[in-house]
């Protein structure tokens, strides 16, 4: 079983622990743990974010992080997580560095739909132009 940056057993996370799921997800993203990130995603996951066509399927989402994402490094700070069981919303801030060396700082909000204990839809919103 894979362990994410947050040190949690990813396979045990589900809609019963929405804060753990969100923080574990961002722990993998911030730690560049793509194998760990894969464990959070349903095989048929869709990721929608400003500036890109939707990424459909786990391979497309992982390819985004490996080849298309402009961020070199950074950290998400989650301020709040809300859930109704099958859906999760969170918001917070991100600070980091783009691959071109530019400093990045913005607020974000994410919404997730959970299926079979994994994220099958993620929508990200920013308070500034797409990154």
Whether 88 is covered by a domain: the verdict is yes
Is residue 6 over pLDDT 80? Answer: no
Average model confidence (pLDDT) across the chain: 89
Whether 71 is covered by a domain: the verdict is yes
- Domain count within the chain: 1
Is residue 16 over pLDDT 90? Answer: no
| Predicted TM-score of the model (pTM) | 0.85
Domain span at 46: 41-126
- Segment 25-80, tens digit of pLDDT: 999 999 999 999 999 999 999 999 998 999 999 999 999 999 999 999 999 999 99
Give the residue from 69, 79, 61 showing the smallest Cα distance to 104: 69
pLDDT > 70: what percent of the chain? 86
The pLDDT of residue 113: 96
Whether 35 is covered by a domain: the verdict is no
Whether 22 is covered by a domain: the verdict is no
Neighbour tally for 49: CB within 10 Å? 19
Domain of 61, CATH number, reads 3.10.450.50
DSSP for 15-69? TT-HHHHHHHHHHHHHTT-HHHHHHHEEEEEEEE-TTSPPEESHHHHHHIIIII-
Q: Of 15-24, 29-38, 82-91, which gets the smallest average pLDDT?
A: 15-24
């Amino acid at each position: 079983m894979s362990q994410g940056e947050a040190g949690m057993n990813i396979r045990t996370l589900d809609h019963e622990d929405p804060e753990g799921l969100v923080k574990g997800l961002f722990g993998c993203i911030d730690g560049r743990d793509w194998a760990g990130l894969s464990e959070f995603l349903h095989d048929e996951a869709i990721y929608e974010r400003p500036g890109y066509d939707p990424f459909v399927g786990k391979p497309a989402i992982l390819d985004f992080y490996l080849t298309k994402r402009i961020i070199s490094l950074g950290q998400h700070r989650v301020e709040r997580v809300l859930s109704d069981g099958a859906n999760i919303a969170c918001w917070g801030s991100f600070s980091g560095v783009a691959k071109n060396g530019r400093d990045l700082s913005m607020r974000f909000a994410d919404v997730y739909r959970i299926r079979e204990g994994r994220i099958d839809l993620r929508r990200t919103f920013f308070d500034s132009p797409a990154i």
